[in-house]
Structure 1
Amino acid sequence: MQSGSETTVRVTHHDRVLEITVRGDVDYDECDLLRAAWEQADEVALPTTVVDLSGVTFGDSGLLNALLDAERRHRDSARAFVLLGPLQRGVVRLLTLSGTLEHFTITDSRAAAFERRTG
């Protein structure tokens, strides 16, 4: 999936993990790409969804709302939702200022993200 800007969202199916890789700037205009990815995650309903945000250079409230929505959807269906970094400074700032940083499971280790399970 790709928008008119340099933002890309790629969805990759693994054995028990759905990996969503996001690159570029994510604001309100790109949120449709994320919503489509969340819908794919809901359809395949793998135990874990890993969202690689290490390449996100900018995010606004649109990104924050999309992440909160996805986390809630996963929690409601007892699936793990993990953010993979390292997160860029702007994304950390967004999550920190909004008071949601500790709301998410975040790791800089791809292996740890893929091992994450609910429960």
Structure 2
Amino acid sequence: MPPTPPPARVHSYEENGTFVVAASGEFDLDEQEQLLAALGEADRRNLPATAVDLSGVTFADSSLLNALLHAWRRHRTSGRRLILAGPLHPTVTQLLTVTGTLEHFEIAETLSEALA
């Protein structure tokens, strides 16, 4: 029997003038609301940048991509940066690559790099 995947978790905080959304675990439609809520909080805070730490995400489907694309649009419209921080799991990289959306996002190798 395969091991049970870790539950999806999202928490957010402010660091160095950047709003950080840290996600971990497996993300599909059932977990989308957690991420949407945190990204909504980023919009309410209206800081110059939001870093989405995806280094702990082990699986993502179109629901995570949809949340990120909506956040990207809102950030771009309001003149703010949205940075995806890794290292990205191969399944996340594949999702962004196959859908042709990787080039739309600012990617940082690590959260530290995103906050620099």
Fold equivalence (TM over 0.5): yes
Matches within 5 A, 1:79-90: 79-90=80-91
Give unpaired runs (5+ residues) of structure 2. 1-5
Q: Which letter does structure 2 place at the counterpart of 1:68?
A: L
Does the aligned pair in 2 maintain the 1:48–1:114 contact within 8 Å? no
1:12 match: 13
Q: CA deviation at 1:114?
A: 1.3
Q: CA deviation at 1:60?
A: 0.4
Q: Which letter does structure 2 place at the counterpart of 1:14?
A: E
Q: Which letter does structure 2 place at the counterpart of 1:78?
A: G
Q: CA deviation at 1:38?
A: 1.2
When the two structures are superposed, what TM-score results if normalisation uses the length of structure 2?
A: 0.91
Does the aligned pair in 2 maintain the 1:9–1:21 contact within 8 Å? yes
1:54 match: 55
Q: Which letter does structure 1 place at the counterpart of 2:61?
A: D
What SS class does the counterpart of residue 78 from structure 1 fall into?
coil
Q: CA RMSD in A?
A: 1.1
Deviations 1:2-30 (A, max 9, x none): xxx71100101124100110000011111
Does the aligned pair in 1 maintain the 2:75–2:82 contact within 8 Å? yes
1:34 match: 35
Deviations 1:40-84 (A, max 9, x none): 001111111000001100000101111101111111111110000
Count of residue pairs brought into register by the alignment: 111
Deviations 1:73-118 (A, max 9, x none): 1111111100000100000000010011111000113333113xxx
Does the aligned pair in 1 maintain the 2:16–2:115 contact within 8 Å? no
| Cα distance in structure 1, aligned partners of 2:24 and 2:113 | 21
1:74 match: 75
Q: Which runs of 4+ in 1 moved over 3 A?
A: none
1:106 match: 107
When the two structures are superposed, what TM-score results if normalisation uses the length of structure 1?
A: 0.89
